[in-house]
Amino acid sequence: MPNMPDDSPAPLTLWLTDRTRSKTGLGRCKRKRYLSTHFGPTGYGITAKSESLPLATGLAVHEGIEAFAAVLMKDDRLTTAEETRAIVLEAQTRYRAKVEARGFLGILGGAVTNEIIKEQAALIGGLIWVVRLKFLPWLHAGYRVIAAEQERLHFLSCSCGAGPLDSAEHVRRDCQGRVLMIRTDLLAMRRGANTLAYFEAKTTGWESDAWSEQWETDPQLALGTLDTEKIYGAEVTELYIVGIGKGRRAKDKYEDSDPNGRKKQQSALCYGYCRPGSPPLMTDDWLPAYEWINEAGETKRKSKAHRRRGIGELPDSDWPTWRAYHQQQPEMPPEEFWVRMLPPTILDKVCFLIGPMNRQDTQLASLRTSMDWDEAQWQSILWDLYELQQKFPWASPEFQARLDALAPCSWMCRPFGKEHQCEFVPICHRDQGWEDPLGGGRFVPRRPHHAAELRQAIARGLLVEQTEEVDEDDPS
């Protein structure tokens, strides 16, 4: 394997990059790339300090897939219900620990905060269960998983002459090559054949045809397949996107049940529609959505008496269906029960496959060349800016003019609307305090999330406890 051994020296001299920063610089905004991955006292970028209640991101889904894949690789079987519940519980526990670390289970807590935490925990559990029940059986029937969430280095260029897959040797030789950090989501071999399929999980709150169609012409997807033929002795002939729809955060569209008008996760995994009972004459009645299609192909819609209600309230409900399941399987949590009850037409919008797509080898070769050249340009840009900063401070007209020339703003600050605007708007639009981005406490140094880059940063003296991990997700 091309991974560096845990006891090997840190890659101090390698120029490390990844798909995200390359795509940001080439397709979004050079200034955003500079600020997010190069600026600041550590040289690894800055990020907005997290002061709000954290929401569920794609990380929880990836953690679930990694745990599922471990069983598939070891035993070539699907996880049991008990194992899946343990995986869900662990992901939810990590989320609550993150919430607690930001103080939202203490003095910053409250009724609304607690409701959001329940909502997001239900979302995490629901997403992992949907992957387990909808995607994994199909995957296991046709493929044998051979790698998941695996990090490795791919050398775009080399100065030392070591073998392309021997990362540790490059490090020992103090190679100064330009290297792409790759994290393979899931790689599987088709049963009865000697070909590979690559799967990449993408969470989104904006499910649309445009979102799905973008992957067909995006060679960046195939970066996760680089070197796989040399490593595994088989060719990747299929590429898939595992789409995970988590819903947008917005106010209720069809009812105004919240007096504060707060936003909610617009996902059937978090909320159903309940008509309150009137014991002993009538029990609660739950429906899966405002509108859905049943097994007979008929379009159904909730009544006026059914109001949106969080599935975390199921344990307190007298709905006969829930009671019957709970009596038979008291260990079944509400999010599992709810996913098992949701109609297929709803689940199809939560977890779906895009593909198979062919690997675009010509475009991939072109991308490698352009990435290597672009990284060489960034090396020159950063050295130029470093030398200039020895003479002029960050906020000086001289430095800002050079920054405008070398890493210009695209001014695509709100490609997904104001709610998802670029975190660096206060700096680029020169809000109060822009002259000292780290001085006002609004921004903090970014913690590298790739293993190789984190080890490099620590070896260079980065104080990890003074940095913040970015909550990465796909807003598009």
pLDDT tier, 472 (very low <50, low <70, confident <90, very high otherwise)? low
Residue 408: inside a domain: yes
E strand or H helix at 455: helix 451-459
pLDDT tier, 388 (very low <50, low <70, confident <90, very high otherwise)? very high
- For residue 124, is pLDDT > 80? yes
Residue 407: inside a domain: yes
**Residues 302 and 372 reside in one and the same domain:** no
Read off the pTM: 0.90
pLDDT tier, 474 (very low <50, low <70, confident <90, very high otherwise)? very low
| Mean pLDDT, residues 38-55 taken together | 86
| Mean pLDDT, residues 347-352 taken together | 93
Structure tokens at 5: 């051994």
Question: What pLDDT does residue 405 have?
Answer: 98
Residue 5: inside a domain: no
Portion of the chain with pLDDT greater than 70, in percent: 93
- For residue 3, is pLDDT > 60? no
**Residues 299 and 393 reside in one and the same domain:** no
| 173 φ, ψ (degrees, to nearest 5) | -90, 5
Going by C-alpha positions, the residue among 98, 91, 89 that lies closest to residue 54 is 98
Q: Cβ distance 359 to 151 under 8 Å?
A: no
| Mean pLDDT, residues 322-344 taken together | 94
Residue 204: inside a domain: no
Q: Which domain holds residue 303?
A: 252-330
Strands 235-245 and 195-204, how do they pair? parallel
Give one DSSP letter per residue of 159-200, joined into a string.
SS---TT-HHHHHHTT---EEEEEEEEEEEEETTSSEEEEEE
pLDDT tier, 132 (very low <50, low <70, confident <90, very high otherwise)? very high
- For residue 476, is pLDDT > 50? no
pLDDT tier, 329 (very low <50, low <70, confident <90, very high otherwise)? very high
pLDDT tier, 440 (very low <50, low <70, confident <90, very high otherwise)? confident
Of 282, 312, 330, the residue at which a domain comes to its end is 330
How many Cβ atoms are within 10 Å of 196's Cβ, its own excluded? 22
Question: What pLDDT does residue 475 have?
Answer: 39
Residue 259: inside a domain: yes
- For residue 355, is pLDDT > 80? yes
d(CA 114, CA 100): 12
**Residues 433 and 364 reside in one and the same domain:** yes
Question: What pLDDT does residue 256 have?
Answer: 56
| Mean pLDDT, residues 152-172 taken together | 94
- For residue 471, is pLDDT > 80? no
Question: What pLDDT does residue 51 have?
Answer: 65
- For residue 274, is pLDDT > 70? yes
Helix (H, G, I), strand (E, B) or coil at 203: strand
**Residues 384 and 326 reside in one and the same domain:** no
Residue type, 341: M
Residue 318: inside a domain: yes
| Mean pLDDT, residues 36-51 taken together | 90
d(CA 272, CA 308): 6
pLDDT tier, 465 (very low <50, low <70, confident <90, very high otherwise)? low
Question: What pLDDT does residue 1 have?
Answer: 46
**Residues 434 and 375 reside in one and the same domain:** yes
Helix (H, G, I), strand (E, B) or coil at 180: strand
Question: What pLDDT does residue 212 have?
Answer: 86
- What order of strands is seen across the sheet that includes strand 285-287? 285-287, 271-275, 307-310
**Residues 308 and 393 reside in one and the same domain:** no
Structure tokens at 262: 């707060």
Structure tokens at 94: 């990590």
How many Cβ atoms are within 10 Å of 330's Cβ, its own excluded? 7
Residue 242: inside a domain: no
pLDDT in tens, 392-429: 999 999 999 999 999 999 999 998 788 789 999 999 99
| Mean pLDDT, residues 279-305 taken together | 92
Strands 178-190 and 195-204, how do they pair? antiparallel
Question: What pLDDT does residue 147 have?
Answer: 95
- For residue 170, is pLDDT > 60? yes
pLDDT tier, 376 (very low <50, low <70, confident <90, very high otherwise)? very high
**Residues 376 and 451 reside in one and the same domain:** yes
pLDDT in tens, 216-269: 888 888 999 999 999 999 999 999 999 999 988 888 766 655 556 678 889 999
- For residue 141, is pLDDT > 80? yes
Residue type, 134: K
Which residues lie closer than 8 Å to 57 by C-beta, 6 or more apart?
A: 203, 471, 472, 473
Across 307-402, the runs of DSSP E, i.e. the strands, are 307-310, 351-357
Q: Cβ distance 143 to 68 under 8 Å?
A: no
Q: Cβ distance 309 to 274 under 8 Å?
A: yes
| Mean pLDDT, residues 94-108 taken together | 77
Which position has the higher pLDDT, 108 or 432?
432
Spell 300-318 as b/e; 16+ CB within 10 A means b: eebeeebbbbbbbebeebe
Give the total number of structural domains in the chain: 2
Q: Cβ distance 177 to 159 under 8 Å?
A: yes
Residue 430: inside a domain: yes
Structure tokens at 85: 């519940």
**Residues 318 and 406 reside in one and the same domain:** no
With tokens 């991990």, the residue in question is 469
